[in-house]
Amino acid sequence: MLDIKFIRENPDIVKHACQVKNYPDVVDDILNLDKRVRELKTITQTKTAEKNKISKEIPTATNKADLIAKSKAISEEIANEMAELADKENVLNDLLHSVPQIPTPDAPIGPDESANVEIRRIGTPRTFDFTPRPQWDLLDMNGWWMPEQIAKTCGTRLYALCGELAELELAVQTYVIKKMIAKGFKFVACPSITKPQVIFNAGHFTGSDLSVMNDDVFMLEGTDRCLAGTSEIILNSLYSDEILSENVLPMKFVGFSPCFRKEAGSAGRDTRGLIRVHQFNKVEQFIFCKPEDSEKMHEMLLNDLCETMEDLELPYRVIANSTGDMGFNKVKMNDVEAWVPSENAYRELGSCSTIGQFQARRTNTRYRKNATNEVDFVATLNNTGIAAGRALVPLMENHQNADGSVNIPKKLQPLMDGRIKIGGKHQ
């Protein structure tokens, strides 16, 4: 959420953000309500001060009965005004939670992903001297999954990895986690079960009505828990309601967890293969830092993701996501897309996001400045370390051979006991 003071002082900036991010402009409603709420606060506080004064006199007073009656009368007045105040504050809060984060001025402006801009392209898609196979053919011919059995057993949009490809998934995860540990990130293997509040805190959804997430999040029926769509949300809430010392910032985490998504709005898209599923494993980077350090942290994270693409020997490109595509809570977002030969296209493998203080306001995560002793909200950033299942698609397709075998990138070979390729006719 945004600071109400910021909205008061910069209504035009906020209105513009609502417009370019495709959210309703509720700024005027907010300002009106805010005015009334502050009036009511002033009134009730003045009366409360009077009541407190009387209460203080009662123990020593001679005319106790009079004072008690007076105090009772004031209490009733206060109660009425407080009722209106609580009501108005609730509405105001809902509206505040439906205002999107202000995007960075250099983000492309547009309604959706069609306005995204490619900012650089690294590596050249390979020229094949045979017809490259799509992921599902490689999975089938190598026995690396069991689609019919899993559809029968667990339902659609789920897969089981088998044999050497399952080993490769572990290797990719381990590779990225170790790489991040070496870069100073603290490894946290996160739970996947969490509380709805934690999902709300992450700010992916608008409003303060927790039921809006029902379309996207698996609720665990009969409990007050749900399944996390990413370890980002767990990491984000780790220090909620805490005041951190400036000295501990930046705090850098590499999280790992199975991730669960309903994918309710994607019927018919990517129905085959490993791209879009209800459950997958993901390594995630997450940073808490001082707001002024946020920009350089973004560059660092984006660079980490690019480095991983290069370690995996994948041709890729970096996207500047448009205001309409970046999401409710983000200041800036860069997708990294890897080349997928069978689709003759780049597909999203990860994304690097600057959130500013938006999540920290929801989690109430603050830090105390050494110089002034002031308290301020931290800034947060998140980045895909590697979405393991999805990454296997370009890995298989780009590194495939005519016989259906797949070469293993050099950096992963040590984690595969030195094997240089997997699969092929021998299976």
Residue 167 designated active-site = no
Burial of 149 (0-12, 13-18, 19+ CB in 10 A): exposed
3-class DSSP state of 244: strand
How many Å apart are CA 364 and CA 201, to the nearest integer? Answer: 9
Active site residue 261: yes
> Which position among 133, 317, 366, 390 bears the catalytic label?
390
Given the residues 261, 317, 362, 366, the one annotated as active site = 261
Select 47 or 276, whichever has its Cβ closest to RNA: 47
Smallest separation, CB 304 to RNA (Å): 31
Establish whether 348 is a catalytic residue: yes
Sign of CA dihedral 56, 62, 64, 67: negative
Minimum Å gap between C-beta 369 and RNA is 8
Minimum Å distance from CB 223 to RNA?
A: 10
- Nearest to RNA of 1, 319 (CB atom): 1
Active site residue 307: no
Secondary structure letter of residue 351 according to DSSP: E
C-alpha to C-alpha distances, 87 to 28, 53, 92, 298, nearest whole angstrom: 18, 27, 9, 40
Tokens of 39: 């009036």
CA 95 to chain centre: 21
Give the shortest CB-54-to-RNA separation in angstroms: 7
CB nearer to RNA: pick between 20 and 190: 190
Cβ at position 263, least distance to RNA in Å: 28
Whether 355 contacts 330, CB under 8 Å? yes
Identify the active-site residue in 231, 257, 351, 353: 351
36, 276, 347, 368: which one is catalytic? 276
In whole angstroms, what is the distance from residue 290 CA to residue 244 CA?
11
- Closer CB to RNA, residue 116 or residue 201? 201
Task: Take residue 277 and report the two structure tokens written for it.
Answer: 């599923």
CA proximity to 321, closest of 14, 115, 111, 122: 115
Q: Which amino acid is at 186?
A: K
User: Which listed residue (348, 361, 368, 419) is catalytic?
Assistant: 348
Q: Which is nearer to RNA, 56 or 186 (CB)?
A: 56
Smallest gap from Cβ 407 to RNA, in A, equals 41
Is the CB of 19 or the CB of 52 nearer to RNA? 52
Q: How far apart are CA 427 and CA 163, in angstroms?
A: 10
Contacts to RNA by CB under 7 A: 4-5, 38, 41-42, 45-46, 48-49, 51-56, 58-59, 68, 71-72, 75, 242-243, 245, 366, 370-371, 373, 375
Tokens of 338: 């890897």
Residue number with CB closer to RNA (126 or 368)? 368
Eight-state DSSP code of residue 380: E
Length of the chain (residues): 427
CB nearer to RNA: give 55 or 80: 55
**What six digits make up the tokens of 23?**
């959210």
Nearer Cβ to RNA (5/269): 5
Q: How many other C-beta atoms can be found within 10 angstroms of the C-beta atom of residue 196?
A: 16
CA distance linking residue 253 with residue 238, whole number of Å: 11
Distance CA 116, CA 258 (A): 29
Min separation Cβ 56 and RNA, Å: 6
> What CA–CA distance (Å, rounded) separates 33 from 88?
7
CB of 75 to RNA, least distance (A): 5
Minimal distance in Å, beta carbon 160 to RNA?
24
d(CA 18, CA 10): 13
Does the active-site annotation cover 121? no
What residues contact 413, with CB distance under 8 A and at least 6 apart? 419, 420
Q: How many angstroms separate the CA atoms of 403 and 401, rounded?
A: 5
Where in the sequence numbering do the catalytic residues fall? 261, 276, 348, 351, 390
